[in-house]
Structures are given as structure tokens and as C-alpha cells.
Amino acid sequence: MAFSFFSFLTQELAMDLGTANTVIFQNDEIVLDEPSIVAIDNATGKLKALGQTAKLMNERTNPGIKTVRPLRDGVIADFNAAELMIRGFIKQVNNRRKTLFAPNLKLVVGIPSGSTEVEIRAVRDSAEHAGGRDVYLIFEPMAAALGIGLDVEAPKGNMVVDIGGGTTEIAVISLGGVVVQDSIRVAGDVFTSDIQNYLRQQHNIRVGETTAEKIKIAVGSVIPELEVEPEPFRAKGPNMMTAHPVEATITYPEIAHCLDKSIARIEAAILHVLEQTPPELYSDIVNNGIFLSGGGALLRGLDKRLSEKVNIPFHVSEDPLHAVARGTCLALKNTDNYSFLMR
């Protein structure tokens, strides 16, 4: 009876605090999946909106309101905005559950594997200030491996490439630990910026982040020939020279061309990690293949291009956008058993 009473007073949440999106799991189900962005009143510093509502305001605000993405390159860039965002998202989740008492909050949060001590402290402090009593941190490649369904504690090598919004995380995992890892700041945000620059240079048209993101989703590809070709995207914006409204038709081979250099940097990082991998683990990886997760894994033809470059099969995980969040959820159930969780 006492156990059930105290468990009622404890709220357990698994959070993938991503550069582009924040996902929260509770009781094995997604209770929140929102863009990682807040709108703040410039005069008072108070929160005006967050998540999808704030994203609709992005690049459309007046001088009295600013939109802020608290995370850049996978780490907290604006501590105050991050705290407001985490607190707001937790409040949204709590609105579904009416209780007389504020529950003790137990949190597991995913963080990039290349985070410095200062960056790790920033995430922990933000989570604690937002109400977290017990805060555990897990590196994103480990969480992604758990979410994909790999046995991370087995004595064999598994390799995961998680391409998120701010960072690409590459890790070889064995016996519940990361053996070799690399974290590079080439991911979804860089792809979006590449598309904006390409449209400026080749089509003489200026578009914002929101439109560039839509182009990436609609015709994003990393190879110039696909079996199933997506419909071209019509982008509208001001001409760079005259400011007259113009329209450009963007095809997937163009996006493959403009993303080429960024994808090449990811390929180089993967090869660098493989060079450092011990031979026995390397053999396991060749047999099992390399697993892709994160929003970047949805780019058309990515698994094919990487397989041809590295000569090892690449597998896109099921529902790659939520792999890290699912992994943090599994870690939340085993906080006493998993030695790789940080407190």
C-alpha cells in the first residue's frame, strides 16, 4: 500500500531534449512531441508560447516578441530559455494528470556524447530548476541503440549513427559502454542552412529556415537518382536583387548536390570511428551492419550512399525520429541496473 502511494507521488519522465524537437515518454507512450522553440516577451521576459505554437511565430515576430531555440548544436545555448521550455513542457504533461500534490519528478534526459562537463552541467541544472528531483543523463548514441532494440550489454560490437538537428553522433557500443565515439556538428540545422545558401546562389531567391526545412522534408535526398522520385517543390520568396516575388522549382537532384559536402563530412567521421574500432568489434559491425537513427536518417538514399562509401550495410531504424526518446524511456525503467547512466 505504501509502495503504491509513494509511486503515485513520483512522476517518471523520459526526455529527448533535441535541438529540433523535444519528445517526452511517460508510461511507455509519447505524451509530448513538440519543436524545441519558445516565444518570449521582450519586456517582461515571460514565456508567451512554446513548441508548435512558438514555431508558427518563428520569423514572423514583432519587436516585442522574440523566438528562441534554446539548444544549438545539440547543447544548451540559452540557459534561461531552456529552463522555461523544459518547465513549460513538463507543465503540459502534468495538465493531463490532476493531483493534489506536486509529484517528485524523476527524469532521464538524452545528451550528445561529445558534451563537455560545462554542457552536461547546464542540462542537469536546467532539468533540476524545472522541477527534477532525480535527474539521470544518458548519451544519445546509447539511448538510440536501446531504442533501436540492440542489446547494448552484450559482449559484441554495435555501431549507431544518430543524425539529429544539431549533431551527428557516431558510436561503437559493447558491454554497456561506448568504446569509440565521435560527435560532429553537422546535422539537420546545417542541411537547412545548405539549402538556404544554395537557393541564394543558384536561384537568386531568399527563403527562411521554415521554408528550407519544408524543402528538406519534401525533396531531401543525398543521391541524384532515386527509384521513387518525389514531386518537385515550388519555393516562393523575394528576388535577391530586385525584391520582386519569384518562384523556384526545386528538384531532389539539386538538394543531393547542395548537401553533398555536409554528407561527405559525416562519411569521413564514420570512417574515422571505424579506423579506431578494435578488430573483433569491427568484425561484429561488418556482420550486423550499422544502424541509422534521428531525423537525418529520413533523407532519401542516405543508407544506400553510406553503404557504397563504407562497404558495410546501413539500416534505417524503425521510426528513427523517436529512437533516442524510446531509449531514454527504456533507461528510465532500469536506472538501478544501467551503469552507463550519469547522475
Closest CA to 164 of 192, 146, 182, 187: 187
Q: What is the pLDDT of residue 38?
A: 94
Percent of the chain with pLDDT over 90: 64
Q: What is the pLDDT of residue 2?
A: 41
CATH superfamily, with its number, for domain 188-256: ATPase, substrate binding domain, subdomain 4 (3.90.640.10)
129-181 pLDDT, tens digit per residue, is 888 888 899 999 999 999 999 999 999 999 999 999 989 999 999 998 999 99
Domain 151-186+260-317 matches domain 188-256 at the CATH topology level: no
Other C-beta atoms closer than 10 Å to the C-beta of 190 total: 22
pTM of the model: 0.89
Q: What is the pLDDT of residue 302?
A: 96
| CB of 163 closer than 8 Å to CB of 116 | no
CATH 3.40.190.10 describes domain 2-143+324-333 = no
Nearest-angstrom CA–CA distance, 25 and 33 = 9
Question: Cell 531534449 maps to which residue?
Answer: 17
Cell numbers given for 343:
547522475
Where along the chain do its domains lie? Answer: 2-143+324-333, 151-186+260-317, 188-256
Could you give the count of Cα atoms lying within 13 Å of 331 in the half-sphere of its Cβ?
39
Q: What is the pLDDT of residue 1?
A: 41
257-280 pLDDT, tens digit per residue, is 999 999 999 999 999 999 999 999
Nearest-angstrom CA–CA distance, 188 and 192 = 6
Cell numbers given for 43:
519586456
Question: Cell 550489454 maps to which residue?
Answer: 153
**Which numeric CATH code is attached to 151-186+260-317?**
3.30.420.40
Going from the C-alpha of 24 to that of each of 58, 189, 213, 322, the distances in angstroms are 22, 21, 23, 10
Q: Which residues of the chain have pLDDT under 70?
A: 1-9, 96-103
Strands (E), the chain: 10-17, 21-26, 29-35, 38-41, 47-50, 65-68, 71-72, 75-76, 104-111, 132-139, 158-163, 168-174, 177-184, 233-238, 245-250, 290-293, 314-316
Q: What is the pLDDT of residue 3?
A: 41
